Amino acid sequence: MYLLANIGATKIKVGLSKNLKKIEKIEIYKTPSQYTDFLNFLKNKFSFFELKLATLGFPGVFDKNNEKLIYAPNLKDFENKKIKSDLEKILKCPVILENDAALEGLGETYYGKGKNFNLFAYLSLGTGIGGVRIVDKEIDRKFFGFEPGHTLFLIDEKVFEFEKIFSGRAIESIFNKEAEKIKNKKFWNFYSEILGIFLVNVCLFWSPPAIILNGSLLKSLKKKIILKSFKSFMPFNLKLNIYFSDLKEKAGIYGSLIYAKKCLKYKK
């Protein structure tokens, strides 16, 4: 059995596969904020499986060997823990770690809206803001990963990360209310326009012919306003497409499946 997991800041999505051809089932759990609670969760739920391999995505930046998170603002207690070795002890199998949004983008490449593109950008808009650039059906080469959510903006002579003003966690912190509980149309119209402008920056930095969007904030954001804002602020007239994921919470699981297959093939 193969364990395929996407560890988000709010939810854990887990899939199991017998042969990396088909996902048997997908289950969703709440993400523990404490690292020891997370280890106990995995131990209680999955340590009794006879696993061949486990592939997990986490939100944040890994060290050069992809063994521990060196920066994870939405899972602070997970930072600098020996995640790879700890999980291998608990699950009793080899463990592969990667950024969660990178795996979601890989899932879109083979099972979602990215199937017809050899180059595209993927953005996850949820508790945090993640993303990846996909090139030739692979996660693009990188030095430390892709972190579009930490793009800096100067507002009223103060520097802000995009994630600190736009993400689900930021909205809840600023307005003292969960994003999904905010029903004000003007609020979401404004945020949708901001996102359209941000997508222009994504295009200018990454030069993709398409951007695929996913994440819980899309339940509230206004797609037509996003597209209108993007087109009106894009400085030149090229046919750039924005798509909205159909895989939703399954994207990371499918990406974990593909990444596991690629890693096993590479080792051979």
CATH number of the domain located at residue range(s) 2-99 in this protein? 3.30.420.40
CATH of 113-245, one of 3.30.420.40, 3.10.580.10, 1.10.3720.10, 3.40.50.11260: 3.30.420.40
Distances (CA, A) of 261 to 64, 113, 123, 268: 21, 20, 23, 11
**CB-based burial of residue 140 (10 Å sphere; 0-12 exposed, 13-18 middle, 19+ buried)?**
middle
Judge whether residue 268 has pLDDT over 60: no
Contact call for residues 163 and 149 (beta carbons, < 8 A): yes
Hey, what's the torsion of the CAs at 70, 75, 77, 82, to 10 degrees? -50
Check pLDDT > 70 for residue 266: no
Mean pLDDT of 13-29: 94
Per-residue pLDDT at 267: 63
pLDDT tens by residue, 77-122 = 999 999 999 999 999 999 999 999 999 999 999 999 999 999 999 9
Q: Which residues contact 254 (CB under 8 A, 6 or more apart)?
A: 23, 106, 107, 110, 111, 112, 247
Mean pLDDT of the chain: 95
Percent pLDDT > 70 in the chain is 99
Instruction: Name the token pair of 15.
Output: 């899939």
For 117-161, write each residue's pLDDT tens digit. 999 999 999 999 999 999 999 999 998 889 999 999 888 888 999
Domain with CATH 3.30.420.40 in the chain: 2-99, 113-245
At 38-73, the pLDDT tens digits run 999 999 999 999 999 999 999 999 999 999 999 999
- Output the pTM of the full model: 0.94
pLDDT at res. 156: 85
Looking at residue 239, what is its pLDDT? 84
